[in-house]
Chains A and B, each alone.
Chain A
Amino acid sequence: MSRVRLVDIAHARSGDKGDRCDIGLFARDAATYALLKREVTGERIARHFAGVATGPVELYPLDNLLALKIVLNAALQGGAARSLRSDNLGKCMAAALLRMEIDLP
């Protein structure tokens, strides 16, 4: 079985609201979207961001946009304005997600 990094099959943008970081993950085509829905599960995302996000992960598939909406709770040290991190707004969380490797069918 071969593996692929998300950066090679999808794109993503992240933002913040309070202590939540949200990431939109966009498949390059319908077949990739089916793959993302199967492989990029809430549990998988939580493991990927262990040590960054301490709250639960929410996941919303959007078939009309070939996209997954991901919400990481308690992910920004309490929020951008009290965070000590350089990436206090979580703008690079999307890039961090694109590092995830998944199995190809």
Chain B
Amino acid sequence: MRARTVAVAGLAWLVALAFLLPYAQMTLTALTPEPELTRSPGTYLPTSFRWSNFTEVWSASPLATHLQVSITVAGASTLLTLACALPAAYYTARNRFRLRGAFLLLVLVTQMFAPTALVIGVYREMVALNLTDTLEALILVNAAFNLPFCVWILHGYFSAIPRELEEAAFLDGAGRLGALTRVTLPVSLPGLVTAVVYTFIAAWNEYIVALTVSVSDNRRPLTVAIPSFVTQYQEHWQFLFAASLISIVPVVVLFVFIERYLVSGLTAGSVK
């Protein structure tokens, strides 16, 4: 190996460590017995790893319920986003029509509205529709705010597939739907996977709308429930981070899974 490569690799691995450090600390804290967490100054490593923190956290709070809420909200909003984004992205990629540009612009502008910026309006709307404290409200909001990204990324992938490929399948007697399911979808699978994972994670991590709209404990997703392990009345940092890891690890794995598509997805979706 050349000296330069060694230097670059060394630097890069240091950077990787720096990015992982907070999450390593999260893991260590999750494994520390509670009495050790109140020591001052703090300890670097727990005297013993308390793995049972990870089992006790399930009874310390209705974590299973919150997990179920998060899965339902993230899953349903991903499905809803896809159901809306797929036809729109496909149609705008395949057809020129009046107002096509206007539609794509609308989608782009929508991306500028974050749930945080509109949270007061969203709250007022949900009150008016009598949807506060429902999962439906969270599903609708997450689906709508992730729609623009999905439309753009899928539009990019669909546009890149030559029409001839589809037409060949169509002429071979596959039919319109057959051409779509046997040619277009498989070729644009990376885009589809990226859109799905991205939406799922964004909905999974959504905080402010859930904080504002959800009231009952059994309708609160993980993001809203987890911080309540540490309040002015109680401090269970070990449970807080055990629960955090339970919520973080699956989505990080999902995200790592689409890493190779992220670069091309970002290029197709936005840089163009």
A complexed with B? no
Q: Which residues of A contact B (CB under 8 A)?
A: none
Question: B-side interface residues toward A, CB under 8 Å?
Answer: none
